[in-house]
Structure 1
Amino acid sequence: MVALAVKNWQGETSGEAPLELRVAKPETANHILHRAVVRQLAHARQGTACTKTRSEVSGGGRKPWRQKGTGRARAGSNRSPLWRGGGVIFGPKPRDYELKMNRKERRLALRTALMNRAEQTIVVEEFTEQLPRPKTKEMVQALSRWGADPEAKILLIVPEITETLGLSVRNLPRLTLLRADQLNVWDILHADTLVVTVGALQKIQEVYGDGSDHHA
């Protein structure tokens, strides 16, 4: 278990919050995190790249010249890959980049990533009431008071994304806003700092705790 300091809206320490998630064994942690990241990045690929083979390129139905007697190399089609305007040999075709990883492994990777970033995690009290209207400037000032560099890559994790909060952070290009039940390994590892509300921390432990996958 890790005890994390909790900060209020003014940036003062107001208590502690426990973070206790069972992680992968040290000898397998890097492997399972790598698999989870590769899987996520692979799933983001569209897989729509496509080239035409010689049979798909239009034209080329007539033999360019007779087989023998011209002194030139034999040619059966002007759509051969050797010709300008011809088909492509072994070019990309639409494909599915999906990689298999079972649910227990995915959750184990997520728990491991969260626990590995504990030192870079800042826990804050719920602050939606402090933002009665969308205000990016106030959000930036709050991040600074909490000890997070607004210019760094920040992952802000909350229980629910309100419209006011969404509007307050949408102009911060290096900040990613996620709900506690929609986390992913890439964003956790990619961020310089994780800012988590107390409610989000509780939800993380409820959703991603050992629970039904205690054999992971």
Structure 2
Amino acid sequence: MSKVTILNDKFQNSGEMDLPASFAEVNSHNLYLYVKSYLAGIRSNTAHTKSRHFVSGGGKKPWRQKGRGGARAGSTRTPVWVGGAVAFGPKSDRNYTQKVNKKQKRLALEFALNEKAANGKLFALESLQIASGKTKDAAAVLKNTNVRDALIVLKELNASTLLAFRNLKNCYVVDASEVNAYLVAVYGSVIAEKAALETIISKEG
């Protein structure tokens, strides 16, 4: 059973919180499938090539069919010609979406959280609100928890805390409802409000 380190207002260890034992039983393949699906879902899909029907020019037959001793040609816009079409190239109408069901998404998140906790990279604070809105106060959270990059999870987002963290390139702030397995996996550490973490753990599906 993995444990979450609980920190007080002075970022000192004030106890531990157990993750459900079922989290440790989840197969890592669930995380792989979810991350693969997530990345496919945000793929820009802008690559688009033209077939010979859409390349301008090439209306006239380049030379007569027979009698000149060379290969016959009907158009200068076929894929074998420079400046011609592309055969079997990518099309922007392709759908890269990969389906992952609701239960598998949940299992992926459970595995990701358990891995962070097992490696001592999951921290819970009573409060992560930064009323001053100053970046130096946000940077102090990382410094005091001794992490380089982190996913910051709040129970509820507020303007001052977002303002404080937005200039830190190695941080990303979300509320409990936005947390997913990809975000947990991609950041080196997770720093969450205790109430937010409890909500994520207790949420079903």
Whether TM exceeds 0.5 here: the answer is: yes
Q: In the aligned structure 2, how far is the partner of 1:110 from the partner of 1:90?
A: 38
Match of 2:192 in 1: 196
Structure 1 residues 4 and 80: CA distance shift in structure 2, 3 A: closer
Q: In the aligned structure 2, how far is the partner of 1:21 from the partner of 1:51?
A: 51
1:79 and 1:85 in contact (8 A); partners too: yes
Equivalent residue runs for 1:24-63 within 5 Å? 25=25, 29-63=27-61
* Greater alpha carbon shift after TM alignment, 96-105 vs 180-189: 180-189
Q: In the aligned structure 2, how far is the partner of 1:23 from the partner of 1:7?
A: 22
Cα deviations by residue, 1:144-190 (Å, 9 ceiling, x for unpaired) = 22x232xx221111111111111101111011112111112122112
* Greater alpha carbon shift after TM alignment, 153-162 vs 7-16: 7-16
Q: 4+ residue stretches of structure 1 with deviation over 6 A? A: none
Measured after TM superposition, the shift of residue 81 of structure 1 is 1.0
Q: In the aligned structure 1, how far is the partner of 2:49 from the partner of 2:29?
A: 35
2:28 alignment partner, SS class: helix
Q: Report sequence identity in percent.
A: 37
Measured after TM superposition, the shift of residue 32 of structure 1 is 1.4
TM-score, with normalisation over the residues of structure 2?
0.90
Measured after TM superposition, the shift of residue 96 of structure 1 is 1.0
Measured after TM superposition, the shift of residue 133 of structure 1 is 2.3
Structure 1 residues 17 and 30: CA distance shift in structure 2, 3 A: closer
Q: In the aligned structure 1, how far is the partner of 2:105 from the partner of 2:162?
A: 27
Q: How many residues align?
A: 202
Structure 2 runs not aligned, ≥5 long: none
Q: In the aligned structure 2, how far is the partner of 1:111 from the partner of 1:3?
A: 13
Measured after TM superposition, the shift of residue 200 of structure 1 is 0.9
Cα deviations by residue, 1:103-157 (Å, 9 ceiling, x for unpaired) = 11111111111112112111111132xx322101011113222x232xx221111
Measured after TM superposition, the shift of residue 17 of structure 1 is 3.1
Q: In the aligned structure 2, how far is the partner of 1:132 from the partner of 1:108?
A: 35
Equivalent residue runs for 1:155-194 within 5 Å? 155-194=151-190
